[in-house]
Amino acid sequence: MAKIGNIDVGDFPLLLAPMEDVSDPPFRALCKEQGADVVYTEFISSEGLIRDAAKSVMKLDIYEKERPVGIQIFGANLDSMLQSVEIVEASGPDIIDINFGCPVKKVVSKGAGAGILKDIDLMVSLTEAMVKHTKLPVTVKTRLGWDEKTIMIKEVAERLQDVGCQAISIHGRTRAQMYKGSADWKPIAEVKNNPRMHIPVFGNGDVDTPERAMEMRDKYGLDGAMIGRASIGYPWFFKEVKHYFKTGKHALPPTMEERVEAARRHLQMSIDWKGEKLGVFETRRHYTNYFKGIPDFKPYRMKMVTSDDSADVFAAFDEVLQKFGDHQFV
């Protein structure tokens, strides 16, 4: 059984990755229903939190049905990070996660996210200070290194553990790779197999089939899998992985009725949480995967992703169910 601090997260837990404009409360709720063991919020700027920026503060919203839930923050300034920990604590999460892996230029240019991989001493000292500043378990999400010449993840993970980090999630790419090429899980396995390591080591990157999740567990010996892109518009991925672990067989894919119902609930929850305009806009990215593999679907998808009126999107869902209700997914 893997444990994050005193939180039992199960045998080889599946974790929903923190993804900007994806891992919001509506989507986390759907993933939790479909078997995600731990969910994380979108990453939140520590500077935004201490300045009471509306978008950052809104991301602190969490609900009882999500637990255990982690709030992820990023930044490179010690004072700002410590102040943000206090703000985060007030929201009542189970875990505080630090983002040391985001490769996006606007984050990296400020020395945050994966930018801190250029200064491992700062990475460790920030983590240590945050651990001392909260009673909640502190975890870290990071990458293998800045580039292939600076991969020191085995040493980095040891140092983070030594200052009190309670679990580490490692994306199997460097910052230089961004999301290109294939994730390399071998260095993550080296971290896990280091006899000095005793905290959970979770793998991230290219876990896009149940077979890949099983490979991460059985071949690489990791403690759990963090799921990112494979879950976008497809919250059933968690359930399907668990079914495969249990039976060795693929679960039947969700029916058209189940897909439409999930998309409808997703949109309604988003509107309830963000309001009409943002709710409609930020749910669009999910529709391609909700309805992937349907022939001649483009006109319906275009309605879903171009309409600014939720009534039109809900109407498109009804049309899809009426026209493609007997479509068999494979």
Structure tokens at 91: 């929201």
Q: What's the gap between Cα 324 and its chain centre? A: 31
Buried b (16+ CB within 10 A) or exposed e, 154-164: bebbebbbebe
Write the Ramachandran bin of 221: left for phi over 0, alpha for psi from -120 to 50, otherwise beta: left
Q: Is the dihedral of CA 62, 41, 302, 264 positive or negative?
A: negative
Q: How far apart are CA 170 and CA 37, in angstroms?
A: 17
Active-site residue identified among 4, 102, 126, 271: 102
The number of residues in the chain equals 330
Residue 32: CA atoms inside 13 Å, Cβ hemisphere, count? 21
Q: How far apart are CA 110 and CA 80, in angstroms?
A: 13
Catalytic, 102? Answer: yes
Kindly list the catalytic residues. Answer: 102
